[in-house]
Amino acid sequence: MRTRIIHPLAPVYDKNSRVLVLGTMPSPKSREFGFYYSNPQNRFWRILAELYREALPCTKEEKKAFLLWHHIALWDVLKSCEIEGADDASIRNPVPNNIAGLLKETGICTVFTTGTKASLLYRRFCRTATGIDAIALPSTSPANCRNWTYETLLAAYRVLRKYTG
């Protein structure tokens, strides 16, 4: 059953953020936990921890500190939508977040999207306002395990290091 979801999470960023990583909309597990990529099967945090050779951040506070330390801002393309569970393919009636407004508050010049749907939605709703083409990264979702192994995801996400040091 499709449910109307209003994005419940604030963006994570500060004045030192250099890149913005955008998903589509927090999953039910992430909304329940109150932070991004909180499904234990999602590989996002494991990939970042290995990429930056750090311990896996576990709490919301550790995750936020990890992102800010590495100059990574995190948010989602959508402010609201109708969606079935965590299925991006089911998204209907999307309303975008004000990505351009967030970029004006920071020095961010590079935007990444995680997953095909986030890339499509960013191009459709945000690209003109931001003036920045997004670099598409594969989804770290457990639903994407057949298409992207852990090793191929890690290789794809290495591009973040180029922009964050």
Predicted local distance difference test score (pLDDT) of residue 141 = 83
pLDDT, one tens digit for every residue, the chain (165 residues): 889 999 999 999 999 999 999 999 999 999 999 999 999 999 999 999 999 999 999 999 999 999 999 999 999 999 999 999 888 999 999 999 999 999 999 989 999 999 999 999 999 999 999 999 999 999 998 766 677 899 999 999 999 999 997
Q: Where are the domains of the chain?
A: 3-164
- What's the pTM value of the predicted model, to 2 decimals? 0.95
Tokens coding 123: 């191009």
Predicted local distance difference test score (pLDDT) of residue 145 = 60
Closest CA to 152 of 43, 49, 61: 43
Predicted local distance difference test score (pLDDT) of residue 144 = 64
Quote the CATH superfamily of domain 3-164: Uracil-DNA glycosylase-like domain (3.40.470.10)
- With tokens 């921890």, the residue in question is 49
